[in-house]
Amino acid sequence: MLHRRTVLLSLAALAACTESKPQFKAVDITGVDYARDFQLPDQNGKVRTLKDFAGKVVVVFFGYTQCPDVCPTTLAEIAQAKKLLGPDGDKVQGIFITVDPERDTPEILKAYMANFDPNFIALRGNLEQTAAVAKDFKVYYKKVEGKTPGSYTMDHSAASFVYDPQGRLRLYTRFGSGPQALADDIKLLIQQQA
C-alpha cells in the first residue's frame, strides 16, 4: 500500500511539472538573446517598435510583396489564425517586414496588407535598416537577379516569430504549419497572460 501511494504521489508531482510548461506546436525559443525588438517605419511612415503592441501576441514575418507563394500563404495563415480565435483574435498583431524595400513602397505595402487583414502592419526600412533588422532576427535574404533589372526575386527565410503579450519572443513557427496550429499556440500565450 505504501509503495502504491508513493508511486501515485510521484506521478501526480510529475504531472504537475509537465502541466506548467505549455506544449506548443511551434518551436519554443523562449529566452533566446536575439530578435528582441525592431525600430522601422510602417506603411504610413510611423516608426514602430515592439512596445507599440504591448498586451498583444505579435507575429512577425519577413518577406516581400512580389513573392509568389510563401509570403501570401503565411500572411493568409496568420489572418486565418486570428479568425479562428474569435474575440481573442483582437489580441493578435500581424507584422510584415519587407526584405525588398527597393520595390515595396509604402503604397504597395498598404495595398498588400489590405489583402490579408486591415490591422496588419508592414514595416519598411532602407537597405541598411533592413540588413540590420534581418541580422538581429537571424533572417536570411538575398536578391536573385532576373532577366531584366526589375524582375529579380528574393530568397528569404520562411518562418514567423511569435511574441507573447509581454513582448518576449517565445516561438519560431515554420512555414506551412497551418492556421490551426498557430491559433492553438497563440491561445496558449494569451492564457498564460491571464
Q: Which residues contribute to the annotated binding site for Cu cation?
A: 67, 71, 156
Rg (CA), the chain: 19
Distance set, CA 95 to CA 21, 89, 113, 127, 168 (Å): 27, 14, 9, 18, 15
Q: Is 163 helix (H, G, I), strand (E, B) or coil?
A: strand
Annotated binding-site residues read 67, 71, 156
Range list of β-strands (E), 43-158: 47-48, 57-63, 92-98, 121-123, 141-144, 153-156
Three cell numbers at 181?
Answer: 496550429
